[in-house]
Chain A
Amino acid sequence: MVDLLRVERVLITLMPADQITRPLSPHIQIYRWSIAMAMSIAHRLSGLMLALGAGLVALWLFALADGGALYEAMQVGIGSGVGQGLGFLFLWAASHHALGGIRHLVQDTGRGFSLPAVQAMGWATLILAPLLALVAFWGLTR
Chain B
Amino acid sequence: MSTDFVSPLAKARASGSARSGTGQFLIQRASAIALIPLLVFAGMVLADIVGASRVEALARLGHPVVAGLVALTMIIVAMHMRAGVQMVLEDYVQTPTLRALAALANLAFAIFVGPGAAVALLWIVLEARG
Task: Output the least CB separation between A123 and chain B (Å).
Answer: 21
**How many contacts A-B (CB < 8 Å)?**
71
Task: Output the least CB separation between A12 and chain B (Å).
Answer: 20
B120 at the binding interface (Cβ < 8 Å): yes
- Decide: A50 and B36 in contact? CB cutoff 8 A: no
- Decide: B123 and A51 in contact? CB cutoff 8 A: no
Once A61-B120, A61-B121 are accepted as A-B contacts, the answer to whether A55 and B54 lie under 8 Å apart by CB is no
B32 at the binding interface (Cβ < 8 Å): yes
Task: Output the least CB separation between A121 and chain B (Å).
Answer: 16
- Decide: A64 and B124 in contact? CB cutoff 8 A: yes
B12 at the binding interface (Cβ < 8 Å): no
- Decide: A58 and B50 in contact? CB cutoff 8 A: no
> What are the residues of chain B within 8 A of A108 when measuring CB–CB?
29
Once A48-B88, A78-B50 are accepted as A-B contacts, the answer to whether A136 and B120 lie under 8 Å apart by CB is no
- Decide: A58 and B116 in contact? CB cutoff 8 A: yes
Residue from A47, A64, A101 within 8 A of B54 (CB atoms):
A64
Task: A105 to B28: give the CA distance in the assembly, Å.
Answer: 10
* Given A61-B117, A61-B124, 8 more pairs with CB closer than 8 A: A44-B88, A51-B84, A51-B85, A58-B113, A58-B120, A64-B57, A64-B120, A104-B32
> What are the residues of chain B within 8 A of A98 when measuring CB–CB?
36, 39
Which 9 residue pairs across A and B have the least CB separation, nearest first? A65-B123, A61-B120, A58-B117, A65-B120, A62-B120, A140-B47, A58-B113, A54-B113, A65-B124
> What are the residues of chain A within 8 A of B46 when measuring CB–CB?
140
B90 at the binding interface (Cβ < 8 Å): no
Task: Output the least CB separation between A82 and chain B (Å).
Answer: 15
Cβ contacts A to B, 22 pairs, < 8 Å:
A44-B88, A50-B81, A51-B84, A51-B109, A57-B117, A58-B116, A61-B74, A62-B116, A62-B117, A64-B124, A65-B123, A65-B124, A65-B127, A67-B54, A78-B50, A94-B39, A101-B32, A104-B32, A136-B43, A140-B47, A141-B50, A141-B51
Residues of A86-112 whose CB lies within 8 A of B: 94, 98, 101, 104-105, 108
Task: A50 to B77: give the CA distance in the assembly, Å.
Answer: 10
A-side interface residues, number (CB < 8 Å): 28
Task: Output the least CB separation between A84 and chain B (Å).
Answer: 10
Task: Output the least CB separation between B64 and chain A (Å).
Answer: 15
> What are the residues of chain A within 8 A of B43 when measuring CB–CB?
136, 140
Task: A58 to B127: give the CA distance in the assembly, Å.
Answer: 18
Q: What string of 1s and 0s marks CB contacts (under 8 Å) between A22-57 and chain B?
A: 000000000000000000000010011011001101
